[in-house]
Amino acid sequence: MTLIQNPVLPGFNADPSIIRVDDTYYIANSTFEWFPGVRLHESKDLQHWDLLPSPLSTTALLDMKGNPSSGGIWAPALSHADGKFWLVYTDVKITEGAFKDMTNYLTTATDIRGPWSDPIKLNGVGFDASLFHDDDGRKYIVQQTWDHREYHHPFDGITLTELDTRTLKLKTGNSTNPLSRHCRCARRGATPLQTERILLSFRRSGRDRIHPSGGCRAF
């Protein structure tokens, strides 16, 4: 077994999302309010990483004017299916107060080096979204939902919304909370699912799995 010294990506490389396609690993990281928003690297051995062109390399693809400190791009989620790379990310314009000005986007590319498609706006009801590719060809956005109401916990659980694979827009009226009966979080005073943030979703061994952060287990 080869030992790898951490960190494999030194410096500022937050919110890593890693996948393997054939014999190559790819990792996406957020740079928050700093350009280019999302960094991509590739590696054959998980130890030596090469920087790739950013998928959001122009202001036409990402306008970061007005992004506050610790705002900008949060938790990009990289995946590969149907011969394409899929990237879901959140652009956060306001971080203070009850209301968060945030929008989730989707962009795709047949080559990791681009060109990437113009970002498609998905929604603005939460952040840290990822894309789940089901075996039957259907796709779903899995995300944390934000509750701005006074006296309500701001983390309002996890929602699953189907993506129209033709238009790449979310289908209306079909959002569900897949974990409403299964999670009791560790944070004192929190109700189920109220501490969930970054979400990773995939299928393995015939079962659908969601791995949230915030003191909870996987499902």
Pick the CATH number of 14-212 from 1.10.3720.10, 3.50.50.60, 2.115.10.20, 1.10.1040.10: 2.115.10.20
Contact 107, 116 (CB under 8 A): yes
Contacts for 149 with CB less than 8 Å, ≥ 6 apart: 98
In this prediction the pTM is: 0.80
What is residue 87's predicted lDDT score, i.e. its pLDDT?
97
Tokens of 15: 């919110």
* Positions of the chain with pLDDT under 70: 1, 97-100, 146-149, 151-156, 173-219
Give the CA distances from residue 48 to residues 26, 32, 35, in Å, rounded to whole numbers and listed in that order: 11, 24, 23
What is residue 154's predicted lDDT score, i.e. its pLDDT?
63
What is residue 122's predicted lDDT score, i.e. its pLDDT?
94
Give the CA distances from residue 127 to residues 73, 92, 101, 143, in Å, rounded to whole numbers and listed in that order: 10, 8, 10, 6
**Could you tell me the residue ranges of all domains in the chain?**
14-212
